[in-house]
């Protein structure tokens, strides 16, 4: 019985020392006009995000107390976009349609015998 307790404690120690690094979903550097500290028209001071999507007006989100809080929201939005929205779009494409990430060189590989 004591051996089981010992194993459980060792597993807890392993989990705290081998943490997975946090996944960063954004793919490009953030422009100053998209993450900034300032005051909005309502008088709120803090960090703001500006999000844009083709065909839509930009959205300003904030104010956040810290830059890190704003980046956490950006990561959450990027995750939702990449994992949920883009996956759904790709699943709905017809056989002659493709979804290509622009600005990134395609990966190629050559098999060697």
- pTM of the predicted model, to two decimals? 0.66
The secondary structure of the chain in percent helix, strand, coil, rounded to multiples of 5, reads 35, 15, 45
Count of alpha carbons within 13 angstroms of residue 50, beta-carbon side: 12
Q: pLDDT tens digits for 23-74?
A: 788 888 899 999 999 999 999 999 999 999 999 999 999 999 999 999 999 9
pLDDT over threshold 70, residue 19: no
Q: pLDDT tens digits for 60-78?
A: 999 999 999 999 999 999 9
How many of the other CB atoms lie within 10 Å of CB of 86? 13
Domain boundaries, the chain: 9-92
């Amino acid at each position: 019985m004591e051996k089981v307790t010992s194993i459980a404690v060792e597993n807890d120690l392993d989990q705290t020392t081998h943490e997975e690094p946090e996944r960063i979903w954004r793919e490009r550097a953030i422009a100053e006009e998209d993450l900034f500290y300032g005051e909005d028209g309502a008088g709120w001071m803090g960090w703001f995000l500006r999000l844009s999507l083709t065909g839509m007006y930009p959205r300003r989100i904030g104010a956040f107390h810290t830059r890190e809080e704003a980046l956490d929201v950006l990561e959450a939005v990027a995750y939702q976009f990449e994992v949920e929205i883009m996956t759904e779009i790709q699943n709905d494409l017809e056989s002659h349609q493709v979804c290509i990430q622009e600005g990134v060189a395609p990966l190629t590989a050559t098999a060697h015998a």
